[in-house]
Structure 1
Amino acid sequence: MRGRGTAVRDARRLRTQAALAALALCGTLALTACSGDEETGAPGTPASPSASAAPSDTASATATAPSSPATAKKPAPTATATAPSTATPAGSKKPPAPGSTCDHKMPISPDEVAVYRYTPEGGAHSLIIKHGNWGCAAPGADAAPFETTGKETFLNIAEDARITAVTPLVDSAVGQPITLQELIDWLVAHPNQGRVFRYHLDSAGVIDSLDQQYTS
C-alpha cells in the first residue's frame, strides 16, 4: 500500500511540474510577443507628437535655409557708388559774365522817361514818352542803357518849364539851359531817339522841370 501511495504522489508532482513549466513557457511567449509589438509598432497606431514634429522642423529649416546666405551676400549700397554721376568736375563752373552783379529786376524809375516825339494835340504841349529803368552797362561803356517797358504814353509840359539838355541836343556833357521851343525843334528833326530825361510834375500833373540825362 505504501508503494502505491508513493507512486501516486510522484505522479502528482510530475503533473504539477509539467503544469508550471507550461505556464512558464506561455508567460515567456507572451512577454516575447508583447516586446515585439512595441518595437515594430502595431498597425494603425498614431505617431507620437515628438516623432511627427521632428521631420516638419527639419523640412522648415531646409526650406528657409537658402534665403539667409542669399541675403548675406547682397552688397549694401554705398555713397561712393553714385559719386561719379553726381560730382561736378573741378573747373567746369563757368566764370560769371561781365556785369552779372547788375540787378535786371529794378523797379520802374518814378521820375525818368525816354522822350520820343512831340505833339500839340489837345491844344497843349505834350511829350510822347515811355517809362523804364536802367539796365546793366556793357564792359567799357560810359553809361548803362535805359531799358523801356510798356506802351507809349504822353506827358504835358508847361510852356515856361525849366529845361536843361546835354549832347546830342547841345554840344556839352554838362546840362545847358534850353527853351521848350528848342526842345520841340530838336524832337521834330530827330524823332524816336528815346533820349532820357528826369522830370518833375507840378500840382496839376504838368511837367515844370525837365533835365536830360547824359547817356553818351
Structure 2
Amino acid sequence: MRAVRGQTAMAVLAVCGMLALSACQNGDDPAAAPDAQPTATAPAAPTATAAVPAPSKTGAAPKPSATATPAGKKPPAPAPPPAPSCGADHRMPVSPDTIAVQRYTPEGGMTSLVVQHGTYGCPGRFEPSGPWTYIPISEKAKITATAPILDSSTVTGRPISTSELTGWLDTHPDQGLPFHYHLDPAGVVDTLDEIYVK
C-alpha cells in the first residue's frame, strides 16, 4: 500500500515538474513567448494634421498699383506738359506763309515787297532770318493792318490799300512787321494780313 502511494506521489511530482518546466519555457506573458501570435490591437490612428504646402512665390497675390483708382471715382486729369524753355533750340521750322516786311521797291514797273522769311521762336514771336528777297504785290491786293501801321489801340485787322502800306514803309523802313501772305497763280501777293504784335 505504501508502495502504491509512493508511486502515485512520484507521478504527481513528475507531472507538476513537467507543467512547471513548460510554464518556464513559454512564460506567463503571452507577449514574451517566441511563438506568440500578434495581438489584434488596432494600430494607432494617424494624426489629422495634414502637411500645408509652402506658399508659392509666383502665386502670391499682386500688390495693388499705386495708381489704382478707387471704384466710383474718376482718375485725375493728367498734368499739362511743361512749357518749352525759350531758346534757339525750340524754334519751329521756317514758316511757309509768313514773311517779315522790311521795305518795298517800285523797280521793274511793279511794286515789290522786300521781305525775309523766318521762324516762330519763343514766346511765339516771328523771328525773321535769312536773306532779303523780293515778292511782287498786286495793286489790288487785299491787305489788313493793325498797330503799329494803324492806331496803337487797333488790334483787329482793318483793310488798307497797297499805297497806304508802301506809304507807311517809306517812313518806317526795316521794321520787319510779320504778315501772313498768299500768292496768286502768277506768284504775286494777292492777300496780306498783318500779325498783331504787342
DSSP-derived class of the 2:180 partner = strand
Q: CA deviation at 1:107?
A: 1.1
Give the aligned CA root-mean-square deviation in angstroms.
1.9
CA distance in 2, matches of 1:118, 1:188: 8
1:211 aligns with 2:196: no
Instruction: Give the total of aligned pairs.
Output: 114
DSSP-derived class of the 1:185 partner = helix
CA distance in 2, matches of 1:161, 1:98: 38
Gaps of 5+ in 2: 1-81
Match in the other structure for 1:132:
118
Match in the other structure for 1:197:
179
- Deviations for 1:16-74, whole angstroms, at most 9, x for unmatched residues? xxxxxxxxxxxxxxxxxxxxxxxxxxxxxxxxxxxxxxxxxxxxxxxxxxxxxxxxxxx
**AA aligned opposite 1:176:** R
Match in the other structure for 1:85:
none
Identity of aligned residues (%): 51
Q: CA deviation at 1:147?
A: 1.4
Judging by fraction of residues, say which structure has more helix.
1
Match in the other structure for 2:149:
169
Match in the other structure for 2:131:
151
DSSP-derived class of the 2:99 partner = strand
CA distance in 2, matches of 1:114, 1:105: 16
TM-score under structure 1 normalisation?
Answer: 0.50
Q: Write out aligned runs for 1:35-184 (5 A).
A: 99-100=84-85, 104-137=90-123, 144-171=124-151, 172-184=154-166
**AA aligned opposite 1:150:** G
TM-score under structure 2 normalisation?
Answer: 0.55
CA distance in 2, matches of 1:113, 1:153: 10
CA distance in 2, matches of 1:101, 1:146: 13
Runs of 4+ off more than 4 Å:
none
Gaps of 5+ in 1: 1-96, 138-143
